[in-house]
Structure 1
Amino acid sequence: MGCTGGTKPEQGQQEQKKIGLVISTLNNPFFVTLRDGAQQKADELGYELVVLDSQNDSSKEYSNVQDILQQGISLLLINPVDSDAVANAVKLANDANIPVITLDRGANGGEVVTHIASDNVAGGKMAGEYIVQQLGGKGKVVQLEGIPGASSARDRGKGFMEAIEGTEIELVASQPADFDRTKGMTVMQNILQAQPEIDAVFAQNDEMALGAVQAIESAGRQGIMVVGFDAIDDALQAIKDGKMAATVAQQPDRIGSLGVEYADKVLKGEEVPTYVPVDLKLITKDNVDTLD
């Protein structure tokens, strides 16, 4: 298969091939780390990496893919804003005969060579099981959901619900806060006003978890356990400070690095699996120092 639509070697020297990376947002440390991991591997393997930021906007993502396809890329890495909306952008690359690899979030349409991501269902379940264990199987919990339509939000929510099913844990509120810290704080403030009893919060990413911590502190509420997802630096510090109980650690640098590694395999015509899982780990105060 090899490279289609890429640059051709000139005078016996292979011109540097370009890989495109269209990323959902660079206003989130997780995705900055993912980009950095991809950049490091691109430098190592001799690829030029062209990065465009979709700013959490599916229409911006579509125009980014249009733009990047004009730049002579050999393969497109895409971290979708929304798994449904991204299908049209993937089809643009398909029509241009440019192979596509999805990172962290999948695409619900178009042809994708492989998907590289954490097992988000397993991660949501890991967080839920921790909450169930800490609460002794009973209590009132809140879930802060990510961007509606993002596969990571759906899968983390699914795993979490599987974990609390059959227990005496009552889900008293579950609302989207779009993976955003400020929205996480605002949504949590409203939930705190409506719910006099809350024992724990599961936020589908650390940004929302940190927003929830701010809201809980501002409201002067004691004894509410907050569990996040992603293990960003601010969350790890919050765990050390006793403000968050736990987070599920992904390896965004590894997701980015594997993206370029598998892009290289695809461009060399090698067979690749349709899904490449990246390991997860529950981080609590007991093991938080192992991530330093």
Structure 2
Amino acid sequence: MKIFTKLITAAVISASFSAGAMAQDTIAMVVSTLNNPFFVSMKEGAEDKAKELGYELIVLDSQNDPSKELSNVEDLVVRGVKAILINPTDSDAVTNAIRIANQADIPVLTLDRGAAGGDVVTHIASDNIAGGEMAGKFINDKIGKNAKVVQLEGIAGTSAARERGEGFMKAVSTYNMDLLASQPADFDRTKGLNVMENLLASNPDTQAVFAQNDEMALGAIRAVQASGKKILVVGFDGTEGGIAAVKRGSLGATIAQQPRMIGSLGVESAAKVLKGEAVEKYIPVSLMMIVK
């Protein structure tokens, strides 16, 4: 009986230790939406790096809903994860979620989109402003002076939409472009199609379109093709669909981010933080122009 009791006690101690070790090795990733190829690639990059480094990775989808994002973070705090990577649905709204993690002393790292508040260890993203300028320069090089352009904006309130728009507007000013319209299509392909149809109807002399992500660009292409017009479309992100459209010649160019690298660097940076190592406040990921 004593031997049996000792075996049970040892098993309980072993189970408790394993659970503690698992919690200690768990990093979480909260993604704005997994209904977008860009963020799916980011998730895959994080998963590969977590596996390589020996961490368990929990991935939660906020479905582009700030309230869902908040509940995801609250759940992760209760589960005792050791670090949270978050790709915000909205740069302002995410502040409350980050502060909840801060109160629990859980380090937070932002990916692709920044946060307006809360304590963030590091932000890992491409230089969206530079990318917007690259898109504008490409349009100017292809169309020439005084190009008549429209812009499809991403989700209002996200740093990515704000910064890409800021960069593009710098190019509009630098190259004296004629900005006919700039409207949101929420980084969504179907909305990109619908908004572009309306913009073409009210701006028939449009020569070029800058879409702040490839999904909207792919929607815009369908609207352009249906109109029978020859209009240059430039996207942003360098997704598989965007690059394929460039190769076909339907998309003029895409400013390629490296979502897998952003996810990978997120996990790598979180691992450093958990080991007590210093990380830079901002970790840039390089951009490149994809053309045919």
Could you state the TM-score of these two structures normalised by the residue count of structure 2?
Answer: 0.92
Deviation at 1:133, TM superposition (A): 1.1
Alignment equivalent of 1:191, drawn from 172, 184, 199? 199
1:234 has 2:249 as partner = no
Alignment equivalent of 1:148, drawn from 150, 156, 160? 156
- Equivalent pair of 1:249/1:282 in contact (CA under 8 Å): yes
Deviation at 1:15, TM superposition (A): 6.7
Deviation at 1:138, TM superposition (A): 2.0
| Largest Rg, 1 or 2 | 2
Which residue of 1 is the match for residue 110 of structure 2?
A: 102
More displaced 10-residue stretch of structure 1: 14-23 or 137-146 = 14-23
Which residue of 1 is the match for residue 7 of structure 2?
A: none
Which residue of 2 is the match for residue 268 of structure 1?
A: 275
Deviation at 1:234, TM superposition (A): 1.2
* Cα separation, 2, equivalents of 1:57 and 1:14: 29
* Cα separation, 1, equivalents of 2:126 and 2:219: 23
Listed one character per residue, the Cα deviations across residues 231-280 of structure 1 (whole Å, up to 9, x for unaligned) are 11111111111111000000000000000000000000011110000000
Deviation at 1:89, TM superposition (A): 0.4
Which residue of 2 is the match for residue 84 of structure 1?
A: 92
Alignment equivalent of 1:66, drawn from 62, 68, 74? 74
Which residue of 2 is the match for residue 174 of structure 1?
A: 182
- Equivalent pair of 2:23/2:82 in contact (CA under 8 Å): no
* Cα separation, 2, equivalents of 1:166 and 1:275: 27
1:47 has 2:61 as partner = no
* Cα separation, 2, equivalents of 1:12 and 1:237: 46
Deviation at 1:9, TM superposition (A): 5.7
Matched position secondary structure for 2:59: strand
Which residue of 1 is the match for residue 5 of structure 2?
A: none
- Equivalent pair of 1:23/1:53 in contact (CA under 8 Å): yes
- 4+ aligned runs moved over 3 Å, structure 1: 8-16
- Equivalent pair of 1:9/1:15 in contact (CA under 8 Å): no
Listed one character per residue, the Cα deviations across residues 131-187 of structure 1 (whole Å, up to 9, x for unaligned) are 111111222000000000000000000011111213231000100000000000010
* Cα separation, 1, equivalents of 2:56 and 2:154: 32
Listed one character per residue, the Cα deviations across residues 34-67 of structure 1 (whole Å, up to 9, x for unaligned) are 0000000000011100010001111111111111
Matched position secondary structure for 2:174: coil
* Cα separation, 2, equivalents of 1:167 and 1:214: 27
* Cα separation, 2, equivalents of 1:148 and 1:164: 20
Which residue of 1 is the match for residue 255 of structure 2?
A: 248
After TM superposition, the structure 1 = structure 2 runs for residues 103-142 of structure 1, keeping only pairs within 5 Å, are: 103-142=111-150
Code of the residue aligned with 2:27 in structure 1: it is I
Code of the residue aligned with 1:100 in structure 2: it is V
Change (3 A) 1:15 1:66: closer
* Cα separation, 1, equivalents of 2:44 and 2:175: 41
Aligned residues with identical type, % of pairs:
60
Alignment equivalent of 1:157, drawn from 165, 169, 194? 165
Deviation at 1:11, TM superposition (A): 12
Listed one character per residue, the Cα deviations across residues 183-222 of structure 1 (whole Å, up to 9, x for unaligned) are 000100100110110000000000000000011112222x
* Cα separation, 2, equivalents of 1:137 and 1:247: 21
Could you state the TM-score of these two structures normalised by the residue count of structure 1?
Answer: 0.92
Matched position secondary structure for 1:265: helix
* Cα separation, 1, equivalents of 2:190 and 2:85: 29
Change (3 A) 1:273 1:24: same
Deviation at 1:125, TM superposition (A): 0.7
Report the RMSD for the aligned CA atoms in angstroms: 1.6
* Cα separation, 1, equivalents of 2:92 and 2:154: 15
Matched position secondary structure for 2:88: coil
1:214 has 2:222 as partner = yes
Code of the residue aligned with 2:243 in structure 1: it is L
Change (3 A) 1:122 1:12: closer
Q: Which stretches in structure 1 are left out of the alignment for 5+ residues? A: 1-7, 286-292
Higher helix share: 2
Change (3 A) 1:14 1:90: closer
